[in-house]
Amino acid sequence: MILSSAMAFRFRQFKVYKDAKLFRKSVHDLLRKFPSSEKYKLTDQIERACNSILLNIAEGCSRRSDMDFARFLETSSGSVNEVVAGFDAALDDGIINEEDFDVIEKKAKNIVNQLGGFARSLRRKPKDNVVSCKL
């Protein structure tokens, strides 16, 4: 079955995806302040974790079942936690200040809450509603 582009990329309509994109931008802007010595260390790890948030939402949306989609949302949530842990380390190392950390942490909490709620709602759907991301 061939899907229309609107159906194929439905993940773009989800609030959590839109917020994750904004979060990614905030993270990217803050990572620009990191010293070049961290480029292939903490900076790279945080960037990959941040990209994983978006990519897992998108990939999960293409799965055939709500349970599979929920698992990808949980993986996204794990990636949010990884980003926060990376910034914990950056704060401890004096790379960022408390104010910058608080901004990232607040946005991260919002995304984790959305991902958790979305995953729970998918798990509560009746079994006959097999595909949540496609109409």
Do the domain assignments include residue 117?
A: yes
Of 8 and 118, more confident: 118
Residue at token pair 């939402």: 57
| Main-chain phi, psi angles of 62, to 5 degrees | -85, -5
- How many domains does the chain divide into? 1
Q: How does pLDDT run across 2-59, given as a tens digit for each residue?
A: 555 556 799 999 999 999 999 999 999 999 999 999 888 999 999 999 999 999 999 9
What CATH number corresponds to the domain at position 53?
1.20.1440.60
109 to each of 44, 63, 94, 115, how far by Cα in Å? 22, 26, 22, 10
- Give me the pLDDT at residue 8, please: 75
The boundaries of the domain holding residue 46 are 19-30+37-124
Is residue 22 within 8 A of residue 110, CB to CB? The reply is no
3 assigned to some structural domain: no
pTM assigned to the model: 0.87
